[in-house]
Amino acid sequence: MNILYVEDSLTLVRLVQNFLENKGIKVFSSDNVDEALKILDAQRIDFILSDIILRGTIKTGYILVRELRKNENTKNIPIYLTSTRDARAATITAIKIGAKGFLKKPFELQELYEIIIKEINESS
């Protein structure tokens, strides 16, 4: 099982990566949309978690979702977006553009794990 985590906080990436890899999930990470797309071209990814706002770039998690939904190879990968911003508005926007859901930061690692397992089981 492989996931892609698009996040510009290295501390958060390491925290999520350590937790999930201890549960047997391989975590690929990127801090920007362009690199994330390259990883998706090279690896089979089962689930994507992406921050909405990524420092140093105009490409957001919303743009990533839109790009992936247009691509035949990635259109069915479950995607959850994250942010510290208003959860209600972000959830509505995330679902509207094609994400499966939204997690408000800080999120519980166990909750993330349960979401990943549920979404991967539903999509297979």
- pLDDT bracket for residue 22 (50, 70, 90): very high
Are 6 and 51 a contacting pair, CB within 8 Å? yes
Domain residue extents for the chain: 2-123
Residue 26 token pair: 């391989």
Distance CA 32, CA 51 (A): 10
The answer to whether 36 and 4 have CB atoms below 8 angstroms apart is yes
To the question of pTM greater than 0.85 for the whole model, the response is yes
- ∠104-39-35 over CA atoms, to 5°? 70
The topology under which CATH files domain 2-123 is Rossmann fold (3.40.50)
Instruction: For 49-107, write each residue's pLDDT tens digit.
Output: 999 998 777 889 999 999 999 999 999 999 999 998 877 888 888 999 999 999 999 99
Q: Which residue has the tokens 């990566």?
A: 17
